Amino acid sequence: MTAVTATEPATAAPRRWGNMRRLFRDKLAITAAILLVLLVLAAILAPWLAPNDPYLTNTRLRMLPPVWEARGRWEFLLGTDGLGRCMLSRLLYGLRATLLMGIIATVIGGSIGLLLGLFAAFYRRLDGVIMHLSDILLSFPAILLGLSFAAVVGPGMTAVVISLAVATIPTVVRVTRASALVVMGQDFIEAGRSIGLNDRTLLVRYLALNCISSVFVYMTLRFGQVILLGSALSFLGLGAQPPAAELGTMASAGRNELFLAPHIAVMPSLVIVVLVLCANVLGDALRDMLDPRLRHT
């Protein structure tokens, strides 16, 4: 929500490379990008990286601490959870589930929002309807969408992904429309029209391609929010259902052993923090790159 102001369109093409160089000099943003790539790789490779079966319970090995503590064991590098399952393996699979949830919701909500935002800017007659609808959606807070979908279709990943996607639509519509309106005002749109291009070409080649970068930046920032919200819904028990490994669900399960074995709740929470922090830092850097007015220094 904090980034709704990032609506400036991409600057002219020659300057983009200068911007890219600046981004590469931004060590923090690069670190965040590298960490994100590593996390995504870890999630993709989870079946090969996980040292143990993430669902295998063992009542004799419950609540083992990580290996660097006195009772730690080498076969469970990060210890075990309340049912004796390997924490490291569950974290890898949990990361996979959380990332997948965030990506699917952001991509679905983002694509629908992008399309509607472009239509609103291109077909002026649709503008009123689309903006009113998105205002209505916007005045329905995401958490209430989550609660409502969970109440209707029952708790589960489907309810969470649907509500996150629906909550993402109106914000993307606004960002896209604002940036598309600026592009619509430029000469080349008129030029394209006058050489007889049809609406589809104008919409895709002239308009969409010129807005896509600012929408993408916004979606990077939105991704962090989606992950936070999704894991909160899972934490409440409305998302992924046990025994499924999902970071929010895992943190929630760790509440029962919070005082005996804090690592069970802390570790999945920390992974969420790193994930969201990286998305936010990267998103901020990308936005500053596109909108120099907001640059920090």
- Residues in contact with another protein by the rule CB under 8 A: 1-2, 5, 132, 135-136, 139-144, 147-148, 150-152, 154-155, 224, 228-229, 231-232, 235-238, 248, 251-252, 254-255, 258-259, 262, 265-266, 269-270, 272-273, 276-277, 280-281, 284, 294, 296-297
> Closer CB to another protein, residue 1 or residue 13?
1
Q: Environment class of residue 283 by beta-carbon count within 10 Å: exposed (0-12), middle (13-18) or buried (19+)?
A: buried
Tokens coding 266:
């802390």
> Closer CB to another protein, residue 138 or residue 203?
138
> Closer CB to another protein, residue 238 or residue 240?
238
- Quickly list DSSP for 189-230: HHHHHHTT--HHHIIIIIIIHHHHHHHHHHHHHHHHHHHHHH
> Closer CB to another protein, residue 203 or residue 228?
228
Q: How far is the CB of 75 from another protein (least distance, A)?
A: 27
3-state secondary structure 68-135: CCCCCECCECCCECCCCCEHHHHHHHHHHHHHHHHHHHHHHHHHHHHHHHHHHHHCHHHHHHHHHHHH
C-alpha triplet 225, 229, 233: angle, nearest 5°: 170
- Non-local CB neighbours of 197 within 8 Å, separated by 6+ positions: 206
Q: How far is the CB of 101 from another protein (least distance, A)?
A: 14
Q: How far is the CB of 81 from another protein (least distance, A)?
A: 15
> Closer CB to another protein, residue 45 or residue 258?
258
Q: How far is the CB of 248 from another protein (least distance, A)?
A: 8
> Closer CB to another protein, residue 152 or residue 195?
152
Q: How far is the CB of 50 from another protein (least distance, A)?
A: 23
Q: How far is the CB of 41 from another protein (least distance, A)?
A: 21
* Structure-token match 């503008």, residue found: 127
